[in-house]
Amino acid sequence: MFALNLSRPMAKTLRVLSALLCYPDAGQRRHLSEMLELVQTEAALPRARRAELEALIAALMRAEPLEAEADYVELFDRGRGTSLHLFEHVHGDSRERGPAMIDLGQTYEKAGLILAEGEWPDFLPAVLEFVSTQPPREARAFLGEMTHIFNAIFNALQGRGSPCAAVLGALLELAGEKARAAKPAAEEPLDESWAEPVVFDGCSVKGQARPGQPQPIHIVRNSGAATGAAS
């Protein structure tokens, strides 16, 4: 039986999970074999969960690129329930979302990290890249604060029969939680402002990119920040 070890290394697994939630462009496809190896060798997850991730990676390897990209758009950019922008689940379109984004961005900066221009702090792949820089105990505690959101997305993905639910299940495992069945809230029909929100300056149906220009999330070191990251 897999016992949770709070000091077990998990940084590589977190980065793989981050990459698996990014738009499936040529860059992602080029590194799928490496992701598979990292999940296997770090062994931060129970065997059954690793097997689910390995199956997802294998499916992405087999997938026809245009079909994989279209599936990603339909899955993550066509409904609020599966949105990878975490504050969408907490604050929706309320005024609280802006300050929450600022606070999260400042958390990254205090750790000596900054987001690339045009990227949003609450985008789950970006959050996971940040968490991967933290010591295991701090990383698990950070993930633990978001388990209710992870569980909601997990259920929404399962409701659509998506193998990507394994990624959210893995995050819950790393936080020391188990996925719980929940009745998803009914989603409102998409309108034009949700599909292409003006406030995001043309944030397209390809995740974090402008239309026709999918770009993966990358958090980079702030050379001007203090060298000591939060620990």
| 52 lies in some domain | yes
Q: Is 202 a member of any domain?
A: yes
Q: Is 99 exposed, middle or buried (0-12, 13-18, 19+ CB in 10 A)?
A: exposed
Q: Are 48 and 92 in contact (CB under 8 A)?
A: no
Confidence check: pLDDT of 14 > 50 = yes
Question: What does the pLDDT read at residue 92?
Answer: 60
Does some domain include residue 4?
no
State how many domains the chain has. 1
Per-residue pLDDT of 69-81, as tens digits, reads 999 999 998 878 9
Q: How many CB atoms lie within 10 A of CB 203?
A: 21
Kindly state whether residue 228 falls inside one of the protein's structural domains. Answer: no
Q: What is the mean pLDDT of residues 195-209?
A: 37
Beta bridge partners of 123: 85
CA 197 – CA 215 distance, rounded (Å): 18
Structural domain containing residue 128: 11-183+192-220
Compute the 3-state secondary structure of the chain and give helix, strand, coil in percent, each to the nearest 5. Answer: 50, 5, 45
Q: Which residue has the higher pLDDT, 95 or 1?
A: 95
Single pTM value for the model: 0.75
pLDDT at 205: 35
Q: Residues 132-145: what's their mean pLDDT?
A: 93
Closest CA to 114 of 231, 227, 225: 225
* Residue 221 CB neighbour total at 10 angstroms: 13
- The tens digit of pLDDT for each residue in 39-48 reads 999 999 999 9
Looking at the domain assignment, is residue 2 inside a domain?
no
The span from the CA of 90 to the CA of 149, in Å, is 8
- Predicted local confidence at residue 216, as pLDDT: 47
Question: Quick check: is 31 in a domain?
Answer: yes
Q: What is the residue whose two structure tokens read 């003006």?
A: 198
Least Cα distance to 150 among 116, 129, 127 occurs for 127
Q: What is the pLDDT of residue 222?
A: 52
pLDDT at residue number 122 = 86
pLDDT above 70 (res 104): yes
- pLDDT higher than threshold 50 for residue 214: no
CB atoms inside a 10 Å sphere around CB 26: 8
Q: Is residue 231 part of a domain?
A: no
In a domain, 71, yes or no: yes
Helix (H) or strand (E) holding 113: strand 113-115
